[in-house]
Amino acid sequence: MLLVTGGAGFIGGAIVDAALAAGHRVRVLDSLRADVHGPSPVRDPRVDFILGDVRHADVVASALADVDVVCHQAAKVGLGVDFSDAPDYVGSNDLGTAVLLAGMAAAGIRRLVVASSMVVYGEGSYRGAAGITRPAPRRAADLDAGRFDPLDSDGGPLTTELISEDAPLDPRNVYAATKLAQEYLATSWARSTGGVAAALRYHNVYGPRMPQNTPYAGVASLFRSSLERGEAPRVFEDGAQRRDFVHVRDIASANLAALDWTANTPAGTFRPFNVGSGTVHTIGDMARALAQHAGGPEPVVTGDYRLGDVRHITASSARLMEELGWRPSVSFDQGMREFATAPLRDAVG
Cite the active site residues. Answer: 175
Give every CB contact of residue 45 below 8 A, 6+ residues apart in sequence: none
Residue 27 · residue 267 · CB < 8 Å: no
